[in-house]
Amino acid sequence: MVRKELLVLAACCCTALVLSVGCRPSGPLKVKTIQTGRSLNSDNSVGLLTQRFRPEQTMYVAVLTDGPGRGTLTAKWTYAGRTVSEETKQVSYRDSAATEFHITNSSGFPPGDYAVEILLDGKSIGTRNLRVEKEKP
């Protein structure tokens, strides 16, 4: 009787191990779109889509992915051709998701053209051009 109970217990443990490993995202991320804007929703997608900003505003970018997967996302922000900020995140999702990046400048961004390039596992997947404009009098 004890041997039968041990076999049942071993079978349950093996099943649990297979199920838990099977639930982990193992494939690469599939990027659906890149959003830019001034605010975020609770799911980390961009709430107010725009590519134009005032100097005191935070610039947000959200990378929306489709389905399960994992990878390394990088947001590289540039101004006048020079990198001003770069952030990398290791992500692993079981379903569609949004990964958020942002940049702020406590003294205000200089007016002009900016860009944010998104990389997935070190390869560029898209660039969004942004513009900071002086406040109107």
pLDDT score of 99 more than 60: yes
> Which one-letter amino acid corresponds to residue 127?
T
pLDDT score of 23 more than 90: no
Task: Encode pLDDT of 36-56 as tens digits.
Answer: 999 999 999 999 999 999 999
Burial class (CB in 10 A: 0-12, 13-18, 19+), 14: exposed
**pLDDT value, residue 29:** 92
What span, in angstroms and rounded, lies between the C-alpha atoms of 40 and 121? 24
Residue 56 backbone phi and psi in degrees, to 5: -90, -5
CB 91 within 8 A of CB 70: yes
Secondary structure (3-state) at 21 = helix
Q: With bands split at pLDDT 50, 70 and 90, how would you rate the model's confidence at 20?
A: very low
The overall average pLDDT reported for the chain is 87
Q: 26-132 adopts what CATH topology?
A: Coagulation Factor XIII; Chain A, domain 1 (2.70.50)
pLDDT score of 121 more than 50: yes
pLDDT score of 137 more than 50: no
pTM of the model: 0.79
Average pLDDT of the residues in 14-18 = 44
**pLDDT value, residue 27:** 85
